Chains A and B, each alone.
Chain A
Amino acid sequence: MSSVAWRLLGVLLLCVVLALSSSAFLTVGNLLNVLRQASLIFLIAAGLTFVILSAGLDLSIGANLGLSACLAAAAIKATGSISIGIAAGVACGTTIGILNGLLITTLRLPPFIAIYGMLWMVYGINYWAMAGNTIYGFPESFRVIGSGYFMGIPIPVLLMVLCLIVGSVFTRYTTWGHEIYAIGANPEVARLSGIPVRRRLIMVYTLSGAMSGLAGIVYLARLNSAEAGIGEPLLLPAIAAVLIGGTSLFGGVGSLSGALIGAVILTLVLNGMNLLTISGNWQPLITGVILLLAAGIDTVARKWNESRA
């Protein structure tokens, strides 16, 4: 069984436990609810997956999402045009992504440091611009992106499925996609075999930035408000979603479907604790234990396979 399959088994086990302990869990409404919540994490985790596959790390996603959402909010309020707002948000995210890529490849800075610097600059700009204010109250036609339905399915979930399909085809069946894996596995070998490493790295950070910008738009539409700190709590869950899904922090191994599984596990934990109304004092501990179990199932399974061989 592949690593993704073992993790899927983990998700199913978690679902069985929740279905047995809460009658509200296994309903169409709640499952769509879980998927919609997971889609918000997935959108940023998807962009991050490309970066981690190339053995990099994009720490600026939360800050980027915040600035993109605030910029989009200000643009919608100033012009009254939803499309200008969306364009501004995605353009902002993409620009930050390109800057990240250039910092890493041109200045040859270690990705962690370059992007850590970028993270503070983006926060700084956003804190200064927003000065503690909140922009809120958007037209219904914009808010459908976050809270609307199409044929009974929440729109963020449709966006998630679209990104999953396009992204998976890209990583699995295109040369560029294969090159990301190759760079992550061994950048030196990749370079020697003629892969334009620099350009591909700029591409993955740009993709990550663009996805943060897009996620910022969906968050804005979902929350109907933007404040400077909106992305702050999302960075670690996004990284966790990618890694729980089996993508290696050292690059070259992993997939977008893994990120989806990671996002669903994170969401299920909160959903389950809320449905069972577990006291806030116990929630962090239980979250930790379940995450370790979910991530550990793969290792245990592999050990077991080896011992039988």
Chain B
Amino acid sequence: MTGGKVDPGESEILNGMERNLLMNISIRMTSILMVLALFLVSCTKPHVENSGKTGGESIAVFTKNQTNPYFQTVRLGAENAARQMNAAVVQYIPTVSDSITEQLSEIEDAIIKRPGAVVFIPVNSKAMIPGIEKLNAAGIPVVNVTDRVLGGQIVSFMGCDETKLAVNTGRFLLQKMNGRGNVVILEGRGGSENSVNRVAGYRKALEEFPNVKLLASQPADFQRVQALQVTENLLQSYPQIDGILAANDSMALGAIEALDAARRKSLVVGINGTLEAIDAIKAGKLLATGDCDGFRHGCLGTMAAVRHLRNLPVPKEFIFSLTVIDSTNYAGMDVPYEQRMCPKWESIVKDK
């Protein structure tokens, strides 16, 4: 940073941790430039990574896509846990985001490579049942995290109650509005269960506040660009919007950009607890984000898989605690995931 041309508000946000992250990205970007300049671009399969440790159990981790930061935190959690327990992780990520066919063929690939166990986030809760059945038939144990698969045999499900997460987050916003005013909901992708559950949660929270009017509930596909445009459009038709309930952080941040450009003010909440959202909370732009901590999902899912292979007890179902992160409690949540450590199994999962 030369500092001179960056306005002071921005550089203040750049703490040491973030600078590290940026340095990382910058180094990688520079190397891209060099590669481009040399016209020597080689195609690699970016999504199969081995954490390097050998000798331990091999755990195959399935996530939905390479673009959503949430799944990156799950992957980092899984790798951290594997390192702690001296196991190895192989990541399976569809190159086409959320592709059902690709995840199914990745399951087939994994069965050939015979990992000790699988940590699994389905791209679709119903469509992935045949995949789980294939893993069952191959005798590979499955720990299901984040989104529940609605069939097949699993060792354990570890996830959170998405509806409750949205109820808590929505309630927090509505209380801050003193239970009065106009709100809009930004929905996720049509047909996505996360979107359906979170929107249901927001609507449930709204039922507790009869003096709050829901002006509109519109889809923005979990995407920042769409959320920006949908919010711009809604700002045109509603002169007074007091609160915006977004079904994820990307959409909440897109909405904030639209509000800023239109010089309008609303309280905005999102869901996922991403680093960017926490920085927006620090900057006073975002009110809160509902968090179920993907990092812990990756950690505990991988730990459960390894524990199962080592014949240690694993609960059949574990529901994570929820936090609504706001300006009062973000401390400790703003550390880059690369530098976080998985919590101890015993500190989270209490024997019943």
Contact = CB atoms under 8 A, between A and B. Distances in A.
B36 A33 contact: no
The secondary-structure label for the interface of chain B is helix
A236 to B, nearest CB: 13
Given A30-B236, A129-B29, A219-B225, A137 B22 contact: no
Contact of B226 (A92, A222, A233): A233
A81 B5 contact: yes
Residue among A71, A74, A140, A225 with the most chain B CB within 10 A?
A: A74
Contacts, number: 178
Chain A interface, >50% SS class: helix
Contacts of B229: 37, 267, 270
A33 B236 contact: yes
Nearest to B70: A132
B89 to A, nearest CB: 15
Interface residues on A, range: 35 or more
A275 B22 contact: no
B115 interface: no
B6 A135 contact: no
Nearest to A99: B39
A230 B33 CA distance: 19
Nearest to B215: A277
B10 interface: yes
A131 B218 contact: no
Contacts of B312: none
B190 A120 contact: no
24 contacts: A37-B229, A75-B29, A80-B1, A80-B5, A82-B5, A92-B33, A95-B36, A99-B41, A117-B43, A121-B41, A121-B43, A123-B95, A128-B28, A132-B67, A136-B253, A137-B13, A223-B224, A229-B67, A233-B226, A270-B229, A270-B230, A274-B216, A275-B236, A283-B190
Chain B interface: which size bin? 35 or more
Interface string B281-310: 000000000000000000000000000000
Interface of A: 22, 24-25, 27, 29-30, 33, 36-37, 40, 67, 70-71, 74-75, 77-82, 88, 92, 95-96, 99, 117, 120-121, 123-125, 127-141, 147, 219, 222-225, 227-230, 232-234, 267, 270-271, 273-275, 277, 279-281, 283-284
B95 A120 contact: yes
Contact of A129 (B22, B25, B216): B25
Contact of B72 (A75, A88, A131, A273): A131
B234 interface: yes
A234 B219 CA distance: 17
Interface stretch (B101-109, B125-133, B138-146, B254-262): B254-262
Contacts of B28: 128-129
A217 to B, nearest CB: 15
